[in-house]
Chain A
């Protein structure tokens, strides 16, 4: 039976409604960031209102907001880039040289991402206190480690998929090992690099507990700002501030999953399942 145009239209309409339904709670906060504080607290809730930019201007003019954004961007981009470099070297070695412990090492490194943050933050906290690492350097190192498992898994998967014949052809033509790694293999695993970069960026961008516990000035990121900076002078939650900060914050992950949607699956499974949706 061939579906008619009308049936297809209804089907697509239903899908769109489902998608919008899931987005509604986020949309509600986006709307709140354009409402005056009084409109946010209005009973009954206002669905139609006079939009204003004053919350966003107020948020940006607070002394800490811009540093939070800069911290978030700086820490996530730097640590993820570092993690990808480190992981690429290791992924190439694990893929091309046969070590007996390869599978075990891959398992151990993946399992570090499966542990509740609260469990390993206790010793890290003590260690960072002892070494006085509770600064940008320490947090950067920690986020690099945090981004390594996924980068390693995804890059090893991709390098395994590049036939060793490419390497051999390179060697026969007199290329050095490093040349083969960076000029022959690297260009072929570009999708893996992009996926690892984008999704680790989102994960570090979203990380809260480690940042909350270990962070100090210079390392505090937006989720920290949301959790800590939400109380206004009266002791109530400052919803206008929370809403406008969230709006600015949600932008990056949303744009990323729009632009890089085909890497979503590999991203959300830490590189263990490949494919597109």
Chain B
């Protein structure tokens, strides 16, 4: 086929399509809005309206347990939250959980990430990494149950080894001194692989040329870490830490399934607490106020996350 033929065909196609109303619509300024319409529908119907509704409800006294109709009480729910010692302790427990979980996962993840750095030629690498990364793609409900079987005091395998070593058994999930640590351990098991993944990504973002230059210049391992790896890798590592922080602060399913907040309330994290106010005591007004606070915390974390992301784009031009 000659070039002239193609050109003719193109012109014919243009002439045909110019006539179509669809074409006119595609070129109008409503077209981009039409493309956004479906996503905006979902976003408005399932996020914006519920959020506004929730903010509204947070100023009302409204419980499904009492026959009284909702009544406007301004900021009383927020005042109640401020004065609720129980909630403050749930917040501080969540804070401790997040700091310990993310801290330990980061340290372990970075160390193991460095260990896995040179593994690109390992035989069966794909299978090994699959095994390594499985904990983070198993639903917390299932992993909560797995660990209940392992921690189980009479026939659990953890206690079998504990008894071999110490001669006595530990009731991991019902003992006040152990339950928090036991849940924390499961979170670390689930999410250390994620920090390994982020460390590998961070190491992968260091330009090969700079690493080779460091090799040629015979920099010490600390000099390489500080002058070559850290300036490039810090962004992705930081994104990993932030994402983990956001996620650890959301932890609900895991404690719900493993301990349901007990024994007493030593594993009652803020997400579970909110769930209880909303669906066990059916206190809609109060739980909405609490939800608004959790929403604000989440949004501020997200802003920090995006700030780091943009910082990276700006620095790396990525």
Identify the A interface with B (CB < 8 A).
11-12, 14-16, 18-20, 22-23, 25-26, 28-29, 32, 40-45, 85-87, 89-90, 92-94, 96-97, 99, 107-112, 114-127, 141-142, 144-145, 148, 152, 173-174, 176-178, 202, 205-209, 213, 223, 226-227, 230, 237, 239, 242-243, 246, 249-250, 253-254, 256-258, 261, 264-265, 268-270, 272-273, 275-277
A272 to B243, CA, bound (A): 11
| A257 pairs with B142, CB closer than 8 A | no
Nearest-Cβ distance from residue B230 to partner chain A, whole angstroms: 17
A93 to B35, CA, bound (A): 6
Chain B interface helix/strand/loop/mixed: helix
Nearest-Cβ distance from residue B158 to partner chain A, whole angstroms: 10
In the assembled complex, 6 residue pairs joining A and B whose CB atoms fall closer than 8 Å, in A order, are A86-B42, A119-B290, A120-B47, A145-B42, A152-B39, A226-B145
Nearest-Cβ distance from residue B184 to partner chain A, whole angstroms: 15
Extra inter-chain contacts (11) besides given A141-B42, A275-B205, CB under 8 Å? A18-B132, A45-B155, A114-B250, A122-B54, A123-B54, A141-B45, A174-B17, A207-B139, A253-B138, A272-B239, A272-B305
For B290, give the chain A residue with the smallest CB separation. A119
| Cβ 8 A contact of A12, one of B53, B119, B148, B204 | B119
| B137 pairs with A116, CB closer than 8 A | no
B141: chain A residues at CB < 8 Å are 206, 208, 223, 226-227
| Cβ 8 A contact of A202, one of B137, B160, B192, B287 | B137
B261 sits at the interface (CB 8 A): no
Q: Which of B42, B112, B270 has the most CB of A within 10 A?
A: B42
| A118 pairs with B274, CB closer than 8 A | yes
B137: chain A residues at CB < 8 Å are 202, 206, 253-254, 256-257
| A178 pairs with B145, CB closer than 8 A | no
| A112 pairs with B47, CB closer than 8 A | yes
Nearest-Cβ distance from residue B74 to partner chain A, whole angstroms: 19
Nearest-Cβ distance from residue B183 to partner chain A, whole angstroms: 14
A239 to B112, CA, bound (A): 33
B133 sits at the interface (CB 8 A): yes
B298: chain A residues at CB < 8 Å are 111, 114-116, 119
| A116 pairs with B123, CB closer than 8 A | no
Interface magnitude class on chain B: 35 or more
* Given known contacts A118-B271, A265-B197, A269-B243, A87 and B39 CB-to-CB distance under 8 angstroms: yes
Nearest-Cβ distance from residue B23 to partner chain A, whole angstroms: 6
For B287, give the chain A residue with the smallest CB separation. A122
A108: chain B residues at CB < 8 Å are 43, 47
| B252 pairs with A213, CB closer than 8 A | no
Nearest-Cβ distance from residue A270 to partner chain B, whole angstroms: 8
Top 7 closest A-B pairs, CB basis? A206-B139, A123-B50, A174-B14, A93-B35, A90-B39, A23-B131, A119-B291
A112: chain B residues at CB < 8 Å are 43, 47
